[in-house]
Amino acid sequence: MTARVLAGALPRHAGRAVRIGGWVHRERRLKSVTFLVVRDRSGLAQVVLPPEHTRLPEETVVEVRGLVTASPQAPGGVELTEPEITVLSEPAAAPPFDLHRPTLTASLPTILDHAPVALRHPRLRARFEVAAASVAGFRSVLDRAGFTEIHTPKLVGAATESGANVFAVDYFGRPAYLAQSPQLFKQAMVGVFERVHEVGPVFRAEPHDTARHLAQYTSLDAELGFVGDHHDVMAVLRDVLAGMVAAIAERGADVELPVVPAEIPAIHFADAQALLGHQPGEPDLAPADERQLSDWARRTHGSEFLFVTGYPMAKRPFYTHPDPARPGYSRSFDLLFRGLELVTGGQRLHRHTDYLTALAAHGIDPAPFEGYLAAFAHGMPPHGGFAIGLERWTARLLGLANVREATLFPRDLHRLSP
C-alpha cells in the first residue's frame, strides 16, 4: 500500500500517483468543474471530481487516490485528478455550523457544546497548536537549565491554597481534595532535585462565572532552589517566556508575538499603587489597575510584560517569603501581560520554624501538612518559583476574550461535558 501523503506535501509529488486521507471540507461547484476540498492536519487538498459523482456530506472521512497534477489556481499549485474515492467513516451528519467558512459563526456555548466538531475549524485548532508549542518551549528552556520534570499527586488530604474553592472527593470512604496547585510538592522536591517543573491540571471550585476562571486549568509550574531572592526566579521566568515565544515562532504559527525584553520591567507594588493614585495600604490590584499598569509599561518601557513585585503579605499565601527590607511587603511577584495577570510567583519560606509561625498566623492547622513540612525540618535551601496559567497565556496571546476559547473542553460552574 502506498504511504499516505499529506495535503501540504502534494506539491512535492507533482506528476505522481498518491493516496491522501482527510475530511470533506466542502464541495465547490464551478461552472465547468466540481472540486472536492479535502482537509487534513497539514492543510487543504483540491480534488477534481468527475462530472458524475455522489455528493459526500461535509466532514465525511475519505481516502483519495489520484494523480498530482499542476494547476496554478489550486492551493499549492497542484490538484488531484482521476480520483478514486473511498469513504472511511460513514457519510457524516451535518455539523451545526459551517467549518469551511473563514470564521466559525456560532455562539461560544454552541461551540463548546460541539467541541469535538467545532475544534476542527482550522482557526480554532490553531489555538491549541500555539498552546502545545508554548508548553514545549517551557519545558525545553527548563530542561536545558537542569530542571527535572515531576508528577505530583492531584489527590490530597488538605487544601493547599485556601479552603474555599476546593473540590471534595470520596477517597475510599474518607474525605480527600483535588489539588489546587502542586505548590507544596514542588517545594518539597526542591529538596531532592533542586530545580523542578511540572505541567499538569489544577482544580479550583470557582463559584463565579467569569471569562478568566476555570474549574480545571493547566498549570505550568517551576520551582528552584539556591535563589538569592525573587529576582532570581523572575530571571528564570523571563527566559521561559522567551522560550515559549520562540517555540511558537519556530512552528510558524500566525500570531502577533510579543517581544520578551532581555530584562522585563518591574515596579514595586507600593510604587504601582502610587502611580495609580490609590491610597497607600490597599492590599491588591483590581483588573482595571492591571490594565492601566500594562499600558504604562508599554508607554514608558515599550514592554508588553510587566512585573509587579512585593505584594503585601496580607494578600499572599502562608508560604510567601516576607521582604526583610520592607515590613508588610513580600518577595513575591505577579507578571502582567497585555493587561492581564498571567503568572504568580515569588520566594517561599524555607525554614521549618517560619512555616509553623506562618501557619499559626493564618490560623491554619499544621497537622495535615506534617508530611510536607518534614522537608523543611530536614534542611531546605532558599527557593522560589512560579506558575503560568496555560489557558490564560494562550487566550491573551491570541486576543481571545474568554479563557474557555483556549480550552479544549472547559470545566466550570455550569459545564461538565462534553
Question: Which of 5, 18, 37, 154 forms a contact with a copy of itself (CB under 8 A)?
Answer: 154
Shortest Å, Cβ 377 to a copy of itself = 4
Tell me the three cell numbers of residue 178.
483535588
Shortest Å, Cβ 192 to a copy of itself = 4
Measure the CA–CA gap between 99 and 134, rounded to whole angstroms.
26
C-beta closer to a copy of itself: residue 242 or 413 = 413
C-beta closer to a copy of itself: residue 151 or 278 = 151
Interface stretch with a copy of itself, choices 235-243, 307-315, 325-333, 410-418 (CB under 8 A)? 410-418
Pick out residues in 243-262 that bind a copy of itself (CB under 8 A): none
65 touches a copy of itself by CB under 8 A: no
164 touches a copy of itself by CB under 8 A: no
Pick out residues in 67-96 that bind a copy of itself (CB under 8 A): 88-90, 92-93, 95
> Could you tell me which residues are annotated as the binding site for ATP?
204-206, 212-214, 341, 389-392
Interface stretch with a copy of itself, choices 45-53, 153-161, 256-264, 288-296 (CB under 8 A)? 153-161
Residue 291's alpha-carbon distances to 242, 269, 336, in angstroms, are: 22, 15, 8
Pick out residues in 98-117 that bind a copy of itself (CB under 8 A): 113-117
23 touches a copy of itself by CB under 8 A: yes
Measure the CA–CA gap between 399 and 225, rounded to whole angstroms.
35
135 touches a copy of itself by CB under 8 A: yes
Helix residue ranges per DSSP H, 194-267: 230-250
> Could you tell me which residues are annotated as the binding site?
161, 204-206, 212-214, 341, 344, 348, 389-392
Question: Which of 36, 215, 233, 244 forms a contact with a copy of itself (CB under 8 A)?
Answer: 215
Residue 233's alpha-carbon distances to 151, 239, 385, 411, in angstroms, are: 21, 10, 6, 31
Question: Which of 17, 70, 164, 168 forms a contact with a copy of itself (CB under 8 A)?
Answer: 168
| DSSP state letter for 4 | B
Measure the CA–CA gap between 167 and 204, rounded to whole angstroms.
7
Residue 417, Cα to own-chain centre: how many angstroms?
20
10 touches a copy of itself by CB under 8 A: no
Q: How many CB atoms lie within 10 A of CB 137?
A: 22
Q: Is 318 buried (19+), middle (13-18) or exposed (0-12) by CB count in 10 A?
A: buried
The DSSP string of 313-362 is: GGGS-TTBPB-TTSTTBBSEEEEEETTEEEEEEEEE---HHHHHHHHHHT
Measure the CA–CA gap between 310 and 323, rounded to whole angstroms.
7
C-beta closer to a copy of itself: residue 16 or 125 = 125
Pick out residues in 368-407 that bind a copy of itself (CB under 8 A): 368, 370-372, 374-382, 390
Helix residue ranges per DSSP H, 71-229: 108-113, 115-118, 122-144, 183-193
The site that binds a copy of itself (CB under 8 A) totals a number of residues, namely: 96
163 touches a copy of itself by CB under 8 A: no
